[in-house]
Amino acid sequence: MTALDLKLLRDLWHMRGQVLAIAAVIAGGVATLVMSLSTYDSLLTTRDLFYSEYRFAQVFTTLKRAPESVAQRLKEIPGVERLETRVVAVVKLEVAGFNDPVTGMLSSLPDVGMPLLNTLHLKRGRWLTPYSGDEIIVSDTFADAHGLHPGDRIHAVIHGKRKALTLVGVALSPEYVYQIAPGAMFPDFKRYGVLWMGRHALAAAYDMDGAFNNVALTLTPGTDEQAVIRRLDTLLAPYGGVGAHGRKDQFSNRFLSEELKQLQTTATVFPSIFMGVAAFLLNVVVTRLIATQREQIAILKAFGYHHAAIGWHFVKLVMAIALLGVAAGTALGMWFGNGLAGVYMELYRFPYLEYVLEPPVIFIALAVTSAAALSGTLLAVGRAIRLPPAEGMRPETPVAYRATLLERLGLQRLCSQPTRMILRHIERRPLKSLLTVFGIACAGGLMMVGNYQRGAIDFMVDVQFKHAAREDLAVTFLEPTSGRALHELAQLPGVRHVEGFRDVAANLRFGHYHYRSAIYGIQPEGVLHRSLDSELRPVAVPAGGVVLTDHLANNILHVQPGDLLTVEVLEGRRQVLQVPVLGLTRQFLGVSAYMRQDTLNELLREGDVVSGAYLSHDPGVEQDLYDRLHGRPRVLGMVAHAAAIKSFYATLGEFVLFFNMVATALAATIAFGVVYNSARIALSERGRELASLRVLGFTHGEIAYILLGELGALTLAAIPVGFAVGAGLCGILVVVFASDLYRLPLVLEPYNFALGATVVAASAMVSGWLVWRQLGRLDLVGVLKTRE
């Protein structure tokens, strides 16, 4: 080993505290990157594998009812590879010991053998016995939520008839990876279940003997999906077809894709910010670190070491630290990634998780880290090398201090001599002081990025459920019904207020943009369900047109108030309507198109018809009300909002919390690394000066004040700057995170600021304490004897 390599190892050991702190900064950035990208890649790979292994269909359609003979004609559509007809029924479920309304999605399975498409992954229990009359398989989420096991019995109200069912298996399906009740905002595994039953038995109960109401198919490779969909729609139109759609619009897949897109954004933006900040800090730290080695560079130069050799020496030093950071970050990131993917697995039901860490991810981490480390190193080494060795070797010439601004203003009486030293030192190197402030500010800003989502989600949920959708309960009818049905609901004991709504599935089209959604006809003067203006104040929906969620109008359909929107109704007579856009509504959760109910009725050329109703009720009447509503044949399902919010926090909330916790921990690591490095480097830069002061009779406390006072002043200055940086970074997140599912509002709570400031201040205090201890061990004699 050469003498220089020995020096390298010794230097690394000597600065081990700093090495660890710098490595921690890198590790924080790299871990975020590895965690996010590996989770994303894992989920994507797992999804694709699951889809292909369990033969997830490519085109889906529902209809009112068609005789089985029609199936043959559908199979003959060119491009259809496999096609399967099914009976699917939305039913009310009763689980013993659970009184809330439960909606079930009951699909048929072939009476004998496996389904051709959308096969199930059986987790527990067994398949249905051929032609069984009452056996069902249920989704694992529902089974887990209710603690159901093979052998248990539940009841379903199918087509108005109550039927006892025996659970024989628990399964997962590629069709229901993301399980959410139609009309609900969030998954609720207790109140929404997916079930499978033999075709024969279900058809008998649902009045679908020899008929089907649902079709799934796959395409031969290279087929034009749209062409098949058009043929399918034409063939099924006489049978009440509701418009076929591809995987893109398949409910579970669409949500899953949106979430994955969101995750991809997270996986790009978060690490970019973290890596960017870490790289910047690394660069600053390394630059200063090398600057403290200026004399040694001069010596090596005096001996005749080439610039390249000296540069290489320091590159190795810095890369050793960088590699340590990347390695630790990768390990940490994989660990967190596994944890995060586990949280996702709770939400998305995959039979297995295929954890993948793509090598390019580590490569990116290495490249970014190296670039930051190397540019800092080479810059600093270059600066030191440019100095003639004769100059580099002498103690840095006493720099030209000036009287500070404060003193020039004549306020020096306010400051003690040490305070003046602090101020002059800060003022002498304004750029360096600024960089330190900015570095610490970035670290504080990261803290805010790490934990701001929680508050934003609280705000989002608050706006949605306290201002926009204020109903306690949303009731859906089996079929569109006369508005008179509302009077009956209003008569129920405990019901305070009833508002009908009409919703209809529709494809919204403007130019070449389109979005498959629904039009909600609500009450113009409604007090329960309202649309909000840009200031989040409730506004009445005007007559004669449609009001769109701002995100839907601006970012999806690219339509403005005043434009004519094409609405292709997907139910009933399937009209194609031209409807003027009358305004925009602010909405953070989901996207919707609103009309007045009477306008929608008019456009659909129907009378006063409602699809369901929003209800508010007295507190405490829930159980009784649910029971009564349950008994009404017209009522198909109910969504209780309190339960929905709770289930939201239990699912999505859990993910956000996990992510926040990790991001906050990593941000805190980075913050500490930065602050500690700032303090430690200041110590090595000024160790001699301080030791000399000690020799002159200054106390430990006095020299600590000179050094730590500066750190304290810079940290204090950095905290408000950090607030600005944090707010800016959160602003970026808000913009890039906008999706159909939700748009996070930019709301920063006092605790966001408090946490950022606290972590920075705590890091400064711990660093200060560590440096204080080191000051106590300053080798006074050594300083006078050797020259570092």
Partner 1 sequence: MGRGMAEPGWVFRAAGLTKIYRMGEVEVQALRGIDLELRRGELVVLLGPSGSGKSTLLNILGGLDTPTAGEVSYLERNLSTASETELTLFRRDHVGFVFQFYNLIPSLTARENVAAVTEIAKAPMKPEEALAMVGLGSRLDHFPAQLSGGEQQRVAIARAIAKNPAVLLCDEPTGALDSTTGIIVLEALEKVNRELGTLTVLITHNAGIADMADRVIRLSDGRIVEERHNTVKRVAHELSW
Ligand X SMILES: Nc1ncnc2c1ncn2[C@@H]1O[C@H](COP(=O)(O)OP(=O)(O)OP(=O)(O)O)[C@@H](O)[C@H]1O
Residues in touch with ligand X (CB under 6 A): 391, 397
Residue in 69, 397, 491, 578 binding partner 1, rule: CB under 8 A: 397
CB of 786 to ligand X, least distance (A): 18
Binding partner at 766 among partner 1, ligand X, none, C-beta below 5 to 8 Å by kind: none
Nearer to partner 1, 72 or 786 (CB): 786
Q: Using the structure block, give the residue that is written with the tokens 């109401």.
A: 213
Nearer to ligand X, 76 or 391 (CB): 391
Q: Give yes or no for a contact between 102 and 194, defined as CB atoms under 8 angstroms apart.
A: no
Q: Give yes or no for a contact between 124 and 170, defined as CB atoms under 8 angstroms apart.
A: yes
Binding partner at 303 among ligand X, partner 1, none, C-beta below 5 to 8 Å by kind: partner 1
Q: What is the distance between the alpha carbons of residues 275 and 252, in angstroms, rounded to a whole number?
A: 33
Binding partner at 620 among partner 1, ligand X, none, C-beta below 5 to 8 Å by kind: none
Q: From start to end of 302-413, where are the E strands? A: none
Phi/psi for 62 (5° steps) reads -120, 155
Nearer to partner 1, 390 or 724 (CB): 390
Phi/psi for 743 (5° steps) reads -120, 120
Binding partner at 646 among ligand X, partner 1, none, C-beta below 5 to 8 Å by kind: none
CB of 396 to ligand X, least distance (A): 10
Nearer to ligand X, 240 or 389 (CB): 389
Residue in 307, 630, 646, 694 binding partner 1, rule: CB under 8 A: 307
Nearer to partner 1, 395 or 544 (CB): 395
Residue in 78, 388, 580, 776 binding partner 1, rule: CB under 8 A: 388
Binding partner at 278 among ligand X, partner 1, none, C-beta below 5 to 8 Å by kind: none
CB of 328 to partner 1, least distance (A): 24
Task: Give the up-direction half-sphere exposure of residue 536: CA atoms within 13 A in the CB hemisphere.
Answer: 12
The DSSP secondary structure of 527-584, one letter per residue, reads SSB-EE-TTS-EEPPPTTSEEEEHHIIIIII---TTSEEEEEE-STT--EEEEEEEEE
Residue in 305, 355, 655, 658 binding partner 1, rule: CB under 8 A: 305
| Partners of residue 504 on adjacent β-strands | 519
CB of 788 to partner 1, least distance (A): 5
CB atoms within 10 A of CB 122: 16
Residue in 113, 210, 221, 304 binding partner 1, rule: CB under 8 A: 304
CA-closest candidate to residue 144, choices 155, 132, 152: 152
Nearer to partner 1, 342 or 382 (CB): 382
Q: Is 299 in the site for partner 1 (CB under 8 A)?
A: yes
Nearer to ligand X, 394 or 402 (CB): 394
CB of 690 to ligand X, least distance (A): 23
Binding partner at 302 among partner 1, ligand X, none, C-beta below 5 to 8 Å by kind: partner 1
Q: Minimal CB distance to ligand X: which residue?
A: 391
Q: Give yes or no for a contact between 680 and 20, defined as CB atoms under 8 angstroms apart.
A: no
CB of 779 to partner 1, least distance (A): 7
Binding partner at 696 among partner 1, ligand X, none, C-beta below 5 to 8 Å by kind: none
Q: From start to end of 377-528, where are the E strands? A: 473-482, 495-510, 513-522
Q: Is 320 in the site for partner 1 (CB under 8 A)?
A: no
Enumerate residues 761-780 that contact partner 1 by CB under 8 A. Answer: 779
CB of 382 to partner 1, least distance (A): 12
Q: Helix 641-695 and helix 307-347: axis angle, to 10°?
A: 160
Q: Is 162 in the site for partner 1 (CB under 8 A)?
A: no
Q: What is the distance between the alpha carbons of residues 12 and 17, in angstroms, rounded to a whole number?
A: 9
CB of 394 to ligand X, least distance (A): 6
Longest CA pairwise span in the chain (Å) = 104
Contacts of 357 (CB under 8 A, 6+ apart): 34, 38, 41, 330, 334, 337
CB of 385 to ligand X, least distance (A): 17
Residue in 35, 229, 284, 300 binding partner 1, rule: CB under 8 A: 300
Enumerate residues 8-47 that contact partner 1 by CB under 8 A. Answer: 10-11, 14
Q: What is the distance between the alpha carbons of residues 38 and 18, in angstroms, rounded to a whole number?
A: 29
* Cα 284 to the center of its chain, rounded Å: 31
Q: Give yes or no for a contact between 685 and 292, defined as CB atoms under 8 angstroms apart.
A: yes
Residue in 209, 391, 396, 618 binding partner 1, rule: CB under 8 A: 391
Provide the residue count of the chain.
788
Binding partner at 372 among ligand X, partner 1, none, C-beta below 5 to 8 Å by kind: none
Nearer to ligand X, 298 or 326 (CB): 298
Residue in 47, 190, 294, 301 binding partner 1, rule: CB under 8 A: 301
Nearer to ligand X, 387 or 746 (CB): 387
Q: Is 384 in the site for partner 1 (CB under 8 A)?
A: no
CB of 397 to partner 1, least distance (A): 7
Three-state secondary structure of 64-113: EEEECHHHHHHHCCCCEEEEEEECEEEEEEEECCEEEEEEEEEEEECCCC
Three-state secondary structure of 413-435: HHCCHHHHHHHHHHHHCHHHHHH
Residue in 389, 524, 572, 745 binding partner 1, rule: CB under 8 A: 389
Q: What is the distance between the alpha carbons of residues 641 and 514, in angstroms, rounded to a whole number?
A: 30
Q: What is the distance between the alpha carbons of residues 767 and 682, in angstroms, rounded to a whole number?
A: 12
How many chain residues are in contact with partner 1, going by CB under 8 A? 35
- Give 463's DSSP letter: I
b/e burial code for range 554-567 (CB count within 10 A of at least 16 → b): eebbebeeeeebbb
Nearer to ligand X, 391 or 488 (CB): 391
Binding partner at 491 among ligand X, partner 1, none, C-beta below 5 to 8 Å by kind: none
Nearer to partner 1, 230 or 787 (CB): 787
Q: What is the distance between the alpha carbons of residues 626 and 629, in angstroms, rounded to a whole number?
A: 5
Q: Is 149 in the site for partner 1 (CB under 8 A)?
A: no
Residue in 149, 306, 558, 773 binding partner 1, rule: CB under 8 A: 306
Interface with partner 1 by CB under 8 A: which residues? 2-4, 6-7, 10-11, 14, 295-296, 298-307, 309, 388-391, 393-394, 397, 400, 779, 782, 785-788
